[in-house]
Every structure is written in structure tokens, then in C-alpha cells.
Amino acid sequence: MRTRFSDFRSDTVTSPCLGMRHAMYEANVGDDDYSDDPTVKKLEEKVASLFDKPSALFLPSGTQSNLIAILTHCQRGEEVITGKEYHVYAWEAGGASSLGGVIVNPLITDETGALNLDDLKISIKKGNGHEPSTRLLSMENTFGGIVQPYEKLESVVQLARAQNLSTHLDGARLANAVVKSGNSFNSYGRLFDTISICLSKGLGAPVGSVLVGAPNFIERARRLRKQLGGGMRQSGILAAAGIYAIENNLNRLSFDHENAFFLAKNLSQVSMFRVPLNIVHTNIVFADIEPENAQAMYNHLTNDKIKVNYPEPKRINGKIWSRFRFVVHLDINQEDINKLIESSNNFRK
């Protein structure tokens, strides 16, 4: 019998369980492009209620959800301020600029993803004829699995609102932040004008994100979804998976967090790795390795049937490291974690 791969690349790699597949099979569907799919409507109402927002829109991906949020908030030539390592700038193919003509101003954050208030304040532009007008502040929580403290998010949002900016939260893994911090979904809903939450990450749905906001905002977002090719037909089959994920996979996220910390603590004993335990908040573990050993470690783990992304270069305290990212999710069990720990311990240069 062939040993299965243990896949630590992302929490997007999960497969629907039998219960979720049954919910998808039984879904009552219509044509969502005509706004008459009852299961999509049920999902949108459920997520809107979570955040205490009046409206929501089901979208194929988190990338499209964030893109549509930015393009709905901003006109061509206007500016969004975000973090340099946030997904909307670093990992979403420059869509806001290339497709929407929106200028992205990325600010440097600290290790936890926090923006500096002074940097934010001096970066906001009024559009005096020589510069773009800043229209939006886009934040991210969690950031690399790190839960940004609610009070810090609140302080940057207050500054943004004082400058008449709209606010958006890329909450792809916000469910992890809610479970870890104890802050409710609706507390984040009160803080931000719009929020995008991913159903296909820690919650385990096969596809989809939901964007929440005011009714007129969501109506304009719906038109953009159509323009970008995101209008789906009998998408209640997918929405049913999202409903199942919210109803069954939310509270179990704490197990992923516990498993991630167990993994981090044990990997920190591996001589080849430098593991920053202080930033292991939820389901993501980083392990830094000397760049000259990165390829060999990657090959070693792959040969042991452990799937990981190739480590990214990272400057830490003036030194370049290669950073592995290990993501724990509902398809990772204790056996997988022990396998990764044992394989890492067995690595030889």
C-alpha cells in the first residue's frame, strides 16, 4: 500500500468530507446569475448575519472577493493603502492596478502585520492635482497566521475614518482569528465597512469566499462580479459546502491551533531550523533554514512524501533566511505532524 502524502502547503488543499459532499448533493439550486439560487441566498444571509451586516455576496475566490471590494471602493486613479506583505499587494497578481487602475500604496508592517500609525497618517493623500486621492485602507487578519490585536486594528481604522477613508478587511482566515482571540465576527463587522472571508481555507469548503457590506455596496460588487466572469449559475452546490463548513468546521479550528503549536515546539528542537514560536498564533508555522540547506531540506521532505511550498527568502535582523511555511488543517492529523517532525530530525546535510 502506497503511503499518502502529508500536505502542509496550505489549508486550501482539504477535501470535502462525506457530510459536506452529502450537503452538496442535496442542495436546492437555481440560477444565481439571476439571483434565484436559494442555497446561495441562505449562505449569503448566514454570513451577513455573522458579521451583523445587511448584505453579502458569494464569490468564487478570495482573490476575486478582495479585488471586487477594492474596485467597488475606489475609482480608477484613486489609491488604496495596505501592508507590503498583505495578500492584496503581494499575492494577488496586481489585479487592482492592472484590471482596475487603482494605485496600491504598500506600507511596511512589523512582524505581526501591524501598520505604524505615523506611517499611515503621512501616507494619506488628498489628491491635490499632483498625487492620487487615497480612498481606502485595506487590512488583513490573520496575517501569516498571526492574530492582529483588535485594539490595534481599531486604532488604524479610527485614523482612516478621521481622514474619510473607507475600510476593508481581508479576513481570509478571520475564522481562525475569531476562534483564537474570542472576538466575535460581528465585532469585526462593526469595525470595517467591508470584509471578505474565505470558506476554502481553515473551514474546509472546496471553493468560495463571501464579501459582506452595505446593500448598495454589494449591489455594485455584484455587477463587478459579472464583469470579471464570477457570475455562477447553479452555485448552490458550492454554497451548500460553505454552509456546512460554517455549521460544522468552525469550532474545530482550535484543534488546528493546538496541533500547530505542538509542531512548532518540536520543530524548534531541530538543529537545522530556527522557529519563531512567538508568532505561532493559529494554524501556520514558520521554520527558517540557512539558504544553502533549503533545496536539500525541500528535496528530503518531498522524498518522505511531505508536501511543502519551496521556502521563500526572508530578511530577519539583517540576515537572509529561507522560510518554510507549514500549514495545519482538517486533513492533517497527529500522524502527519509526527511524520514531519521525524523527517526534519532525520535530515542530514
Q: pTM value?
A: 0.96
Instruction: Report the half-sphere exposure of 348 (CA within 13 A, side-chain side).
Output: 1
**Phi-psi bin for 17: left (phi > 0), alpha (psi -120 to 50), beta?**
beta
Burial (CB < 10 A; 0-12, 13-18, 19+), residue 232, is buried
Rounded to a whole number of angstroms, the CA Rg of the chain reads: 21
What's the sign of the alpha-carbon dihedral 25, 48, 74, 85?
A: negative
Q: What amino acid is encoded at 255 in this protein?
A: F
- Residues (pLDDT < 70) of the chain are 1-3
CB of 119 closer than 8 Å to CB of 149: no
The pLDDT score that the predictor gives to residue 128 is 80
Kindly state the DSSP code that residue 161 receives in the 8-state scheme.
H
Cell reading at 162: 478621521
Alpha-carbon distances, residue 142 vs 44, 110, 250 (angstroms): 22, 14, 15
How many angstroms from the chain centroid is the CA of residue 224?
A: 21
pLDDT at residue number 1: 39
Pairing of strands 306-307, 284-289: unpaired
Q: What is the 3-state secondary structure (H, E, C) of 49-105?
A: HHCCCCEEEEECCHHHHHHHHHHHHCCCCCEEEEECCCHHHHCCCCHHHHHHCCEEE
- Joined grid coordinates for residue 272: 537545522
Q: pLDDT value at position 3?
A: 63
Contacts of 33 (CB under 8 A, 6+ apart): 226, 231, 232, 233
Contact 157, 167 (CB under 8 A): yes
pLDDT at position 257:
98
Contact 70, 93 (CB under 8 A): no
CATH numbers and ranges of domains, the chain: 6-12+252-345 (3.90.1150.10), 31-248 (3.40.640.10)
Q: What pLDDT digit, counting tens, does each position of 5-54 carry?
A: 999 999 999 999 999 999 999 999 999 999 999 999 999 999 999 999 99
Query: Collapsing DSSP states into helix, strand and coil, what is residue 218?
Result: helix
Other CB atoms within 10 Å distance of the CB of residue 176: 28
Give the three cell numbers for residue 150. 483588535
Whose grid coordinates read 521563500? 312
Count of beta carbons in the 10 Å neighbourhood of residue 15: 10
CB contact at 8 A, 57 and 197: no
